[in-house]
Chain A
């Protein structure tokens, strides 16, 4: 399904004439399977957000390829209707000038049916009266629900969840995770879940990638989480067990 092959990405540092480059991703390769939730865990500055931007094709890798069913995701015709995303910052994830209905209709295009909005809202647990609301009238959890409804509206094959629950309260995090779980089972989509929260990743994902300094440290099945081999993964898990 999504196939990442030897991806390298670096950013220019400094001013106009500076040649200095900072390598953010360093030969990353992995593959996500249809209907699977793949977790990517890393600390801030590990390059996981950059990886996220490459996965949804809004940036191109310097070397290597990101393929979706064999086609390059950086071409927008390829990812239209197949890819979707939910981001971290619930304050800016919906255009402030859009109502909930307009936001959910966006991926459906002009010939979308408005009565679909009601079904979708129901699916994410919001009353139909929310159609005419503006994002600033919603709480963080509600905005993320609308974003999820928007993400599944066009029935994509893969959804990127980039720290999608990190800015929410713990109690709301669980609700959103449960919602994502049920939607996945119902619609047979695959998720790529980027996060720093191991517990949340373990709750939702089937496989987990430990990511550090632009490299993959280890890929493990969530069921096999207790048997991780790399030192880094052990250290991360160890920090949690202490609590």
Chain B
């Protein structure tokens, strides 16, 4: 069953007349993870924000986006707001800027839960505690009493993932969720993301410029360059046999870094 179907999505900058995303079409089956890879400026974030209808007014979008068979451009603003979070959830690159800096984390989480469910205060509290604990944040009560700037980038992303656990959305859009993090924290957050998928069985769109991350989590891969989709297919087939030169360039650069590293580390067994 297809949860999301995008046909001929084109995004134009009305002021300059530039085409930022050109005639892109793809679909997402229920329960799978689609990765969108590409360098900065390739239009991957714009595509994501178009799915949430969050792009700035100066950008003109054409084409259809069907979410569960319904055209999202036909929803009213109120319906769309109801869908965001409950049905389509977004994890951003910098969690810190996603929250209002003047109130503590707990307030945001409770608000988000209250927006979509009619739980009692205790039930909300209990569910949030459970969710925060299950993303390996010790002492959830304390975390909820912190302000966004007091948490590290990795912790913020865990909080975002915990909230997804509570809201149980059908589709999660993760826009460069690990780019702003340390190498070590990156891997931990990636693990949490894949566990999240297993637990609530949601579909996911994972945006990254790092193909190593993509390979770890995604089933299908879409490569964008200058606003156009240049390659698409299952992750394994793309990695094994890229059709496009640009894709093979991206893969080879990533490979060069990790190959050097594995060659350094690889001889461990022999020692």
Q: Interface on B for A, CB 8 Å cutoff? A: 39-41, 152-153, 182-185, 187-188, 209-212, 216, 249-250, 253-254, 256-258, 260-261, 264-268, 271
Contacts and interface: CB of A to CB of B under 8 A. Distances in A.
Q: Provide the main secondary structure of the chain A interface.
A: helix
Nearest to A241: B265
A240 to B, nearest CB: 7
B209 A170 contact: yes
A18 interface: no
A128 to B, nearest CB: 24
B183 A171 contact: no
A198 B264 contact: no
A185 B65 CA distance: 53
Contacts of B185: 43
B261 A202 contact: yes
Nearest to B191: A242
B97 to A, nearest CB: 16
Interface stretch (A22-30, A70-78, A109-117, A218-226): A218-226
17 contacts: A139-B40, A140-B40, A169-B39, A170-B250, A171-B209, A173-B253, A198-B183, A198-B261, A199-B183, A199-B260, A200-B257, A203-B257, A225-B264, A226-B267, A239-B184, A240-B261, A243-B212
| 5 closest cross-chain pairs (CB), A and B | A196-B182, A174-B253, A171-B253, A169-B209, A226-B268
Interface of A: 43-45, 139-140, 169-175, 177, 196-200, 202-203, 222-223, 225-227, 236-237, 239-243
A223 B257 CA distance: 15
A196 B184 CA distance: 8
A170 B184 contact: no
Nearest to B208: A170
Given A199-B260, A227-B271, A170 B265 contact: no
A243 B255 CA distance: 12
